[in-house]
Amino acid sequence: MALPNDDIDEMYKTREVLDAQAHIWNYTFNFINSVSLKCAIQLGIPDIIHSHGQAMTLPDFVDALSINNNKAKLQDCIYRLMRILVHAGLFIQEKEGYLLTPTSRLLLKDVPNLSMIHYIHAMFDPIMMDPWHCLSQWIQSYGDQPTPFAITHGRPLFEYTREDTGFSCLFNEAMAHNNPLISSVVIEHCNGALQGLKSLVDVGGGT
């Protein structure tokens, strides 16, 4: 039996609203991927899998983390964390356990000129994250402060790094470790843009 046109129109309206709500949910909770990545690095999960030399099971993780806690609860936490990270494409899950991907290999500590963990540590530091909560305040008072960072911390980024030696070290480590790969790509593939230059200085990392 065919539905009346009014019912069909109402059904599409409902579906449209549900799709719109799901779209907003995706944006609202997208930060979970970022904080899960940060958590994985803080726990050393990429290096743990790499050192294990083969796919890691959840019990393997519990033993490797050596956390004095309820093992069943810890295993459940790791399971939930890894589900997010696998869904995000950072790890692979097979029957035997979890494996690295080309992406998560960039999260290993000892990968010269490729490791991104220093950069991630800096970008996820509260000093760098808090200014994003002031974005609307910055737009509303545009002209009073040059950036949301300045609104949050009372001075621009590079002035702040001069005064906070701990954060300065963190930030410079991030820039120093992130620049070699980008610089090599620029030099190799952007020769036309560099023609005529007698010298080129990369100040990333403050060196």
Q: Do 166 and 150 meet the contact criterion of CB atoms below 8 Å apart?
A: no
In the block, tokens 């007698």 appear at: 198
Contacts of 26 (CB under 8 A, 6+ apart): none
How would you write the pLDDT of the chain (207 residues) with one tens digit per residue?
555 666 666 766 788 888 888 999 999 999 999 999 999 999 999 999 999 999 999 999 988 987 777 888 889 999 999 999 999 999 999 988 999 999 999 999 988 778 899 999 999 999 999 999 999 999 998 778 899 999 999 999 999 999 999 999 999 999 888 777 788 888 888 878 888 888 877 777 777
Q: Does 5 map to a domain?
A: no
- 128 with 199, same domain? yes
- 80 with 131, same domain? no
The strand pairing partners of 142, in sequence order, are: 145
Q: Do 127 and 133 meet the contact criterion of CB atoms below 8 Å apart?
A: no
Q: Does 1 map to a domain?
A: no
- 63 with 136, same domain? no
Q: What is the dihedral of CA 191, 195, 201, 205, to 10 degrees?
A: -20
- 71 with 128, same domain? no
Q: Does 66 map to a domain?
A: yes
For residue 140, the Cα-to-chain-centroid distance in whole angstroms is 28
> Would you state the pLDDT for residue 8?
60
- 91 with 158, same domain? no
In the block, tokens 């869904």 appear at: 87
- 87 with 130, same domain? no
> Would you state the pLDDT for residue 17?
85
- Domain end, chosen from 82, 107, 132, is at 107
Plot region of 70 (φ>0 → left; ψ -120 to 50 → alpha; else → beta): beta
Predicted TM-score (pTM) of this structure: 0.82
- 150 with 176, same domain? yes
Q: Does 10 map to a domain?
A: no
pLDDT digits (tens, 9 = 90+) for 69-93: 788 888 999 999 999 999 999 999 9
What is the total count of domains within the chain? 2
Q: Please name which of 195, 116, 127 lies closest in space to residue 157, comparing C-alpha atoms.
A: 127
- 121 with 95, same domain? no
Q: Please name which of 105, 108, 103 lies closest in space to residue 88, comparing C-alpha atoms.
A: 103
For the chain, how far is it from start to end, CA to CA, in angstroms? 75
Query: What domain range includes position 67?
Result: 31-107
Q: Does 15 map to a domain?
A: no
